[in-house]
Amino acid sequence: MSNEIEEVREEGNEQSQESSAGVSRRKFVGTAALVGASLATLSAGAQTQQTLLAARSDDSASNPGPKNELLMQENPDSNLPPFTDHGDPGVTWFSFDLTSRRVQDGGWTHQVTEREFPTSRDIAGVNMRLTAGSIRELHWHTSNEWAIVLTGTSRITVMQPDGKMYIDDVGPGDLWYFPAGFPHSIQAMGGQGTEFLLVFDDGKFSENDTFLISETLVHTPPEIIQKNMGWSRDDFNKLPQSQLYIFPSSVPGSLEAEKRALGDRLETKNKYTYKLSEQRSAPDNAGGSVKVIDVDKFPVATGLCAAQVTLKPGAIREMHWHPHSSEWQYYMQGNGRMTISTTGGRARTMNFNANDVGYVPIMATHYIENTGTEDLIFLEILKAAHFYDVSVNEWIARLPDNLAEAHIKLPLSTIRKAPQTRTTIIPK
């Protein structure tokens, strides 16, 4: 009996060992498969990410519920961000077409300020149109004003504290600049009137909170008006009882005649307008062109400067950052996209269309790509006297070989394939 029991024990031990060995082999094979899959995943790199993105778009990222199809089509990189996006760098996109227009007899206006675009604390923008002959009332404000004419022709006046008046006509693509506190006006010439973009060096600026000549007069006691201006109480009663702001008028006469009428009170030394439409672009290559306008070309514009960039389809404004200012953008034509990358690995990609506004925090790396079929035209506006930036390609090219290899982790031969000089616009 004892022999039989011992034989059963030995048989059981053998089966147990075989079973354990089988399990061990299965564990090893499974682990090896997992390791192999992991290595394959790591080596696949971007291809795997693309696969994950495709899977997400088919399943996890599907949106069977309510949605704004038009908004999603205009912002595909927000709806399904590239895998390189990370964290939350803040709002980088807004549009004038999301704001309420103030419409009056004679034109309209709407604005994008820090209230609508909280990250843009340095700069605010106003888009305004005046019908033929209509006037933006005489006014002044606490911020410097930089402007570009989008359509039509505007006649502007601005008076210096020394009493001299500057007057000029500006057409599509041309600029004006009004220093803070200098009283000025804007009037549309003939045809279909004029439309322009106003940029202010204060994110809190409001076009509804400017100093107006009408309000100044009607809210001053009439006896003071009589002492100061010599106008009677009957004259006071005829003054506008509320602000004019935008109002219709007749198309002005000859510019030269109005200049002659000013005589020696005409300002001729300081130029408050700039004919950007006549400036040659640089560089001008297969990818597009850039026009830089700062205090060196437009001396009165000490508070704001800009670059007007034109990108051909597929071209990019090279990766760069501005070390001295945040960047406020206005998209005039076409379709594009931008990724900004800031501290803590935070990055965001957004799409832009005509009449959109973009914002880049100071020193944040970014590029702009033309994703459409026509030229992409936009403004880069800085709260600074001079316009300059740091090129990522140029920086890498200037690094000693050992530093470049140590940081980028690529062969030096690959690293040096990148452009070795600043290339503001890189063609497709």
Which positions are annotated as active-site residues?
A: 380
Contacts of 181 (CB under 8 A, 6+ apart): 140, 141, 142, 161
The reply, when asked if residue 322 is annotated as ligand binding, is yes
Does residue 252 have a cis peptide bond before it, meaning omega lies within 30 degrees of 0? no
Sequence-ordered alpha helix ranges (H) in 97-254: 213-218, 222-229, 233-237
259 burial level (CB within 10 Å; 0-12, 13-18, 19+): middle
The reply, when asked if residue 324 is annotated as ligand binding, is no
The reply, when asked if residue 141 is annotated as ligand binding, is yes
260 burial level (CB within 10 Å; 0-12, 13-18, 19+): exposed
The reply, when asked if residue 145 is annotated as ligand binding, is yes
CA distance 367 to 146: 24
The reply, when asked if residue 407 is annotated as ligand binding, is no
CA dihedral sign of residues 196, 202, 205, 211: negative
Nearest to 205 by CA among 164, 145, 138, 295: 145
Place of tokens 């006046």: 157
The reply, when asked if residue 327 is annotated as ligand binding, is yes
The first and second tokens of residue 425, run together, are 């616009």
Sequence-ordered alpha helix ranges (H) in 158-273: 213-218, 222-229, 233-237, 255-262
The reply, when asked if residue 366 is annotated as ligand binding, is yes
Q: Would you tell me how many other CB atoms lie within 10 Å of the CB of residue 210? A: 18
The reply, when asked if residue 139 is annotated as ligand binding, is yes
CA distance 98 to 110: 10
Residue 331 pairs in a beta bridge with 378
Under 8 Å between Cβ of 252 and 193: no
327 burial level (CB within 10 Å; 0-12, 13-18, 19+): buried
What is the DSSP code string of 350-375?
A: EEEETTEEEEE-TT-EEEEEE-SSS-
CA distance 74 to 324: 31
CA distance 207 to 222: 28
Task: Output the known binding site for Mn(2+).
Answer: 139, 141, 145, 184, 320, 322, 327, 366
Task: Output the known binding site.
Answer: 139, 141, 145, 184, 320, 322, 327, 366
